[in-house]
Amino acid sequence: MALFGKNKKDVVTIEKAVLEICSRMHPDLGWTVDREIDAVTGGSHHINLTDLRRQYDKLGVDRRRAWCEMTIPPLLAQPARPSVDRSTLRAVIRNRAMIEGARLHAIGEGGVPAVVPHHVLTDDLCALLVIDEATSMVTVNDDMLNEWGVGFDELWPIGVSNVRDLDAPTWNRIDDGVVAAGGDDYVSSRLLLPELAESVAAASGGSIGLPLVAIPTRRTSLYVATLEDPAALAAAMRAASADLGEDSQISFWPVVLTGDGAMRRLVLDPSHPVHDTYRQLTRLDLEATYAGPSKQLTQLVGPDLTVAPVLIGVDPNGVVESYATWGDGETLIPNVDAVVFEGAGRPRMTASFADVWAHCHELMEQTDHYPARWRVRSMPDQALIERFAR
Q: For every residue of 360-375, which 3-state class applies, written as one string?
A: HHHHCEECCCCCCEEE
Return d(Cα 196, Cα 202) in angstroms, integer.
10
* 3-state secondary structure at position 75: helix
d(CA 177, CA 179): 7
Distance (Å, whole) CA 243 – CA 239:
8
C-alpha 291/C-alpha 380 separation (Å) is 26
Q: What is the extent of the structural domain holding 251? A: 170-267
Reported as type and span, the H/E element at residue 283 is helix 275-301
pLDDT at 3: 38
Instruction: Report pLDDT for 81.
Output: 58
CA torsion 181→185→190→193, rounded to 10°?
-160
Residues of the chain below pLDDT 50: 1-10
Q: In this structure, are 153 and 228 located in the same domain?
A: no
Whether residues 51 and 113 fall in one domain:
no
Q: Contact 364/357 with Cβ under 8 angstroms?
A: yes
User: Does 227 reside within a domain?
Assistant: yes
Considering the domain architecture, whether residues 232 and 160 belong to the same structural domain is answered as no
287 lies in some domain: no
Cβ neighbours around 374 below 10 Å, total: 22
Tell whether 295 is covered by a domain: no
- In the chain, helix, strand, coil percent, each to 5? 40, 25, 40
Give the per-residue pLDDT at 4.
Answer: 37
307 and 364 assigned to the same domain: yes
- Indicate whether 274 belongs to any domain: no
- Domain closes at, from 34, 55, 77: 77
Q: Tell me if 30 sits within 8 A of 67, measured CB to CB.
A: no
| Same domain? 235 vs 200 | yes
Which of 26, 50, 77 is the endpoint of a domain? 77
Q: Is residue 280 part of a domain?
A: no
Boundary-marking domain end, from 77, 111, 128? 77
DSSP character at residue 242: T
